[in-house]
């Protein structure tokens, strides 16, 4: 697929998916969602990729749905919300959450509406000091979508997620960090370098163990303690057969840094 609204670049073991519609603060169109979905799948299919970064070009991370997208039609009261969400956003969000490798949202600037959900679908959020978050849906009479009712409460807790969703108040990067939405806040000047360093750090870790943590912790949200213990025992047995487990043990015994390969 040729990309017109995103860029997909590979730098060693890290793939960079950059939303590339800076004039609209990287607002989402059907085309952008399709291209992003294709890029996420490409990162998933390439064993050499051990971390995916999702970030935005220009001063925005993602302003949510492009409210000027001609494909919405001329009569906005007639939007096929259900079909549109199922076809585009829903698939993209699940593909990111399910990606069996770490995903870093590099929140370079404002995230609004579905842009907040996109950031929440990543495993961690490295946030520029110039960024902010706004659950903008309520300002246009909608409820959070793209997983906003599932992901955000799991990150910041029910009360704060509900407050942000029903007020539509904008919060700063520092506030996002205080409530646990931002994993780290980085000075805007050094953002790109620190984001790359964070991604490189994740890419050097045992990828299969990370994939297992993502899968099991998500699944455990709907399991009992006993079911979770069972699942952990089963998946730990699988990880025990990986190269990276053996390498981790040898490195510990030999008092050296481990060289994980993601296998
Ligand atoms: C935009 C947008 C945008 C187009 C900024 N669209 N151009 C799912 C299914 C179906 C339909 C509906 O929605 C959904 C899910 C959703 O995501 S709903 C939420 C949609 N997003 C919003 O409501 C956010 C709208 N944007 C804003 O509130 C502000 O732009 C924010 C707070 C993000 C940033 O404010 P500022 O920093 O003051 O920037 P700005 O407003 O001046 O925007 C810069 C440009 O970007 C401007 O264009 P212009 O040609 O005037 O310079 C905006 O029109 C454009 N832009 N967001 N979502």
- The CATH number covering residue 212 comes to 1.10.12
pLDDT of residue 24 exceeding 90, the answer is yes
Structural domains counted in the chain: 2
β-pair partners for 201: none
For residue 260, is it within any domain?
no
For residue 262, is it within any domain?
no
Regarding whether 221 and 168 lie in a shared domain, the answer is no
Regarding whether 40 and 15 lie in a shared domain, the answer is yes
pLDDT of residue 71 exceeding 90, the answer is no
Atom of ligand 1 nearest to the CA of 134: 32
Regarding whether 124 and 219 lie in a shared domain, the answer is no
pLDDT band at 10 (very low <50, low <70, confident <90, very high): very high
Could you give the CA distance from residue 239 to residue 256 in angstroms, rounded to a whole number?
Answer: 21
Q: What share of the chain is helix, strand, coil (3-state, %, to 5)?
A: 50, 15, 35
Handedness of CA 14, 131, 187, 153 (dihedral sign): negative
Regarding whether 148 and 62 lie in a shared domain, the answer is yes
Atom of ligand 1 nearest to the CA of 84: 9
Regarding whether 172 and 104 lie in a shared domain, the answer is yes
257 C-alpha to ligand 1 centroid (Å): 46
Name every protein residue with a CB atom under 6 angstroms from any ligand 1 atom: 24-25, 27, 63-68, 79, 81, 84-85, 110, 112-114, 134, 136-137, 139-140, 142, 145
pLDDT of residue 112 exceeding 90, the answer is yes
53 C-alpha to ligand 1 centroid (Å): 23
pLDDT band at 168 (very low <50, low <70, confident <90, very high): very high
For residue 46, is it within any domain?
yes
Regarding whether 149 and 115 lie in a shared domain, the answer is yes
- For 33-57, give one letter per residue: b (16+ CB within 10 A) or e: bbbbbbbbebbbeeeebbbbbbbbb
For residue 150, is it within any domain?
yes
pTM: 0.97
pLDDT of residue 74 exceeding 90, the answer is no
DSSP tag of 149: T
Strand order in the sheet with 110-112: 60-62, 110-112, 132-134, 170-172
Q: Show the CA angle centred on residue 71, arms to residues 68 and 75, nearest 5°.
A: 70
pLDDT of residue 11 exceeding 90, the answer is yes
For residue 258, is it within any domain?
no
Which CATH number do you get for residue 14? Answer: 3.90.226.10
Regarding whether 238 and 111 lie in a shared domain, the answer is no
Q: Residue 24: phi, psi to the nearest 5?
A: -110, 25
58 C-alpha to ligand 1 centroid (Å): 14
Regarding whether 222 and 197 lie in a shared domain, the answer is no
Q: What is the mean pLDDT of residues 157-165?
A: 98
> For position 35, what pLDDT does the model report?
98
Regarding whether 104 and 16 lie in a shared domain, the answer is yes
> For position 77, what pLDDT does the model report?
85
Q: Domain range for residue 95?
A: 6-203
> For position 44, what pLDDT does the model report?
98
Tens-digit pLDDT profile for residues 200-259: 999 999 999 999 999 999 999 999 999 999 999 999 999 999 999 999 999 999 999 999
Residue whose structure tokens are 């960024």: 131
Regarding whether 227 and 125 lie in a shared domain, the answer is no
**Which class for 142: exposed (0-12), middle (13-18), buried (19 or more C-beta within 10 A)?**
middle
Could you give the CA distance from residue 4 to residue 173 in angstroms, rounded to a whole number?
Answer: 29
Regarding whether 180 and 236 lie in a shared domain, the answer is no
Tens-digit pLDDT profile for residues 124-159: 999 999 999 999 999 999 999 999 999 999 999 999
pLDDT of residue 33 exceeding 90, the answer is yes
Regarding whether 110 and 226 lie in a shared domain, the answer is no
Could you give the CA distance from residue 135 to residue 116 in angstroms, rounded to a whole number?
Answer: 7
Could you give the CA distance from residue 145 to residue 148 in angstroms, rounded to a whole number?
Answer: 5
Sort strands 170-172 and 132-134 into parallel, antiparallel or unpaired. antiparallel
For residue 1, is it within any domain?
no
């Amino acid at each position: 697929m040729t990309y017109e609204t995103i860029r997909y670049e590979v730098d060693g073991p890290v793939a960079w998916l950059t939303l590339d519609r800076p004039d609209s603060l990287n607002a989402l169109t059907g085309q952008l969602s399709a291209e992003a979905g294709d890029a996420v799948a490409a990162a998933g299919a390439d064993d050499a990729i051990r971390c995916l970064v999702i970030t935005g070009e220009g001063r925005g991370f993602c302003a949510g749905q492009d409210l000027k997208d001609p494909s919405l039609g001329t009569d906005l009261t007639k939007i096929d919300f259900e079909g549109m969400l199922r076809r585009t956003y829903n698939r993209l969000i699940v593909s990111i959450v399910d990606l069996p490798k770490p995903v870093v949202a590099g929140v370079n600037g404002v995230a609004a509406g579905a842009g907040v959900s996109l950031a929440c679908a990543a495993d961690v959020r490295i946030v520029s000091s110039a960024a902010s978050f706004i659950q903008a849906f309520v300002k246009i009479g909608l409820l959070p979508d793209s997983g906003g009712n599932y992901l955000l409460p799991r990150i910041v807790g029910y009360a704060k997620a509900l407050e942000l969703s029903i007020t539509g108040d904008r919060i700063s990067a520092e506030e996002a960090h205080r409530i646990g939405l931002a994993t780290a806040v980085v000075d805007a000047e050094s953002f790109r370098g620190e984001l790359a360093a964070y991604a490189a750090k994740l890419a050097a870790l045992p990828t299969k163990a990370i994939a297992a943590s993502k899968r099991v912790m998500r699944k455990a949200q709907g399991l009992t303690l006993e079911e979770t213990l069972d699942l952990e025992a089963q998946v730990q047995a699988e990880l025990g057969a990986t190269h990276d487990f053996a390498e981790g043990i040898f490195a510990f015994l030999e008092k050296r840094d481990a060289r994980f390969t993601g296998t």
